[in-house]
Chain A
Amino acid sequence: DAKTTQPPSMDCAEGRAANLPCNHSTISGNEYVYWYRQIHSQGPQYIIHGLKNNETNEMASLIITEDRKSSTLILPHATLRDTAVYYCIVRVYNFNKFYFGSGTKLNVKP
């Protein structure tokens, strides 16, 4: 049901950009891509979302390919506090549901 594919884990050096990929090849034209993260033992936290244009906020940037089959979440300067599981989610249009897949465990190392 999740409709997304993410690598199970990634490493990133502190201070460097973290680029987290997500494949959503079956996405429909009116479905949005959302990113959430979950820091150990806490509830998931919203990061960013987009439809087809690139988006940026204070936390991250979201790059969506022109065919919308994949996207990349960019944390421009990763810190140790960014160590978390990052979930890429395609929002089902006709129901207000968010399905979380397995996510990517990002390890930020000093």
Chain B
Amino acid sequence: DAGVIQSPRHEVTEMGQEVTLRCKPISGHNSLFWYRQTMMRGLELLIYFNNNVPIDDSGMPEDRFSAKMPNASFSTLKIQPSEPRDSAVYFCASSLTRGQGPNEKLFFGSGTQLSVL
């Protein structure tokens, strides 16, 4: 199994530009999570999907951020327009969720290092 695949690994852009981060979850997993990690705030949950439907986006910082999951094997996180304070590592994670069962484990990708100049 290839694990959770994120692209790109590194992204450098200028303030005001649109940024799109991509994620391919593990095949068969039905939940997908986007996290952001910074030195100041640690790992923050931004949004999570279950069966391609956004369940909780309360962690999305503002309207400049949007996430989609058009099918079970692909998700995007978009920032438009980007700002320097968006610089962070963005992680995607997936899991197999069976109701409220106790055995869900998150599997993380390698992350995208975003730098907004």
Contact = CB atoms under 8 A, between A and B. Distances in A.
Contacts of A93: 100
Contacts of B42: 100-103
Nearest to B59: A97
Interface in B69-108: 89, 91, 93, 95, 97, 100, 102, 104-108
B56 interface: yes
A46 B96 CA distance: 14
A45 B107 CA distance: 7
A96 B97 contact: yes
Interface centre among B48, B56, B106 (most CB of A within 10 A): B106
Interface residues of A, number: 23
Given A94-B100, A102-B42, A43 B110 contact: yes
B48 A96 contact: yes
A99 B97 CA distance: 17
A90 to B, nearest CB: 13
Interface of B: 4, 31, 33, 35, 42-43, 45, 48, 50, 55-56, 89, 91, 93, 95, 97, 100, 102, 104-111
26 contacts: A36-B106, A41-B89, A41-B111, A42-B108, A42-B110, A43-B4, A43-B109, A43-B111, A44-B91, A44-B93, A46-B106, A46-B107, A51-B102, A91-B104, A94-B100, A95-B55, A95-B56, A96-B31, A96-B48, A96-B50, A96-B55, A96-B95, A96-B100, A97-B48, A100-B35, A100-B42
